[in-house]
């Protein structure tokens, strides 16, 4: 084996290794399961296989990351067509997601496509008419927002029934 053959072999080994390494992906929601807090997503960047770019298969029932804290979670509901980010966890996390406690992984795989978490919306302003803007100055509601339940502002109850 001459030097160029050895170099090509090492490059092929590195490329094969990196193709198995998953870190993050831009995706589009194709189905949403709000009660399960999960989404089905389609990767938006095609992968190179044998000289051609092909669409990647969908990733099903991806857990959705919540915002906030355990005492006050914010649970966004995503819709088909939303573009977002999936990150792949370093190791199998099924036990942690089920229990919320430190556990051993069920497998020894690292950076596998089997451990995704949907982290939320990633897109340029697509002309959304209704949204919340959170800053140091407070929360600004842009558009019309329907609030179900009781809203308490500075200790005063505003409304209080289902609409």
Gap between the Cα atoms of 27 and 120, Å rounded: 10
Residue 31 lies in a domain: yes
Structural domains counted in the chain: 1
Which two structure tokens, joined as six digits, stand for 135? 């800053």
Answer for the pair 30, 41: CB distance below 8 angstroms, yes or no: yes
Domain extent, residue 124, equals 3-158
Question: What is the reported pTM?
Answer: 0.72
25-29, 58-62, 79-83, 144-148: segment of lowest average pLDDT: 144-148
Residue 130 lies in a domain: yes
Tens digit of each residue's pLDDT (9 = 90 or more) over 61-89: 999 998 888 788 888 889 999 999 999 88
Residue 144 lies in a domain: yes
Burial track 55-78 (b if 16+ CB lie within 10 A, e otherwise): eeeebeebbbeeeeeeeeeeebeb
Per DSSP, the chain holds a count of helices (H) and strands (E) of: 2, 13
Residue 135 lies in a domain: yes
CATH, residue 127: 2.40.50.230
Residue 47 lies in a domain: yes
Residue 163 lies in a domain: no
Tens digit of each residue's pLDDT (9 = 90 or more) over 117-126: 899 888 756 6
């Amino acid at each position: 084996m001459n030097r160029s053959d050895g170099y090509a072999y090492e490059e092929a080994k590195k490329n094969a290794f990196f193709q198995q390494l998953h870190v993050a992906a831009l995706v589009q929601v194709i189905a949403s399961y709000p009660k399960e807090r999960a989404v089905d997503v389609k990767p938006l960047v095609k992968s190179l296989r044998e000289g051609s770019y092909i669409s990647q298969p969908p990733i099903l029932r991806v857990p959705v990351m919540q915002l906030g804290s355990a005492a006050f979670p914010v649970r966004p509901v995503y819709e088909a067509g939303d573009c977002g980010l999936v990150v792949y966890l370093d190791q199998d996390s099924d036990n942690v997601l089920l229990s919320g406690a430190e556990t051993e992984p069920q497998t020894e795989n690292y950076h596998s496509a089997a451990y995704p978490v949907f982290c939320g919306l990633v897109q340029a302003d697509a002309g959304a008419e209704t949204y919340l803007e959170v800053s140091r100055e407070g929360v600004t509601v842009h558009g019309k927002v329907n609030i179900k339940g009781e809203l308490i502002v500075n200790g005063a109850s505003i409304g209080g029934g289902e609409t």
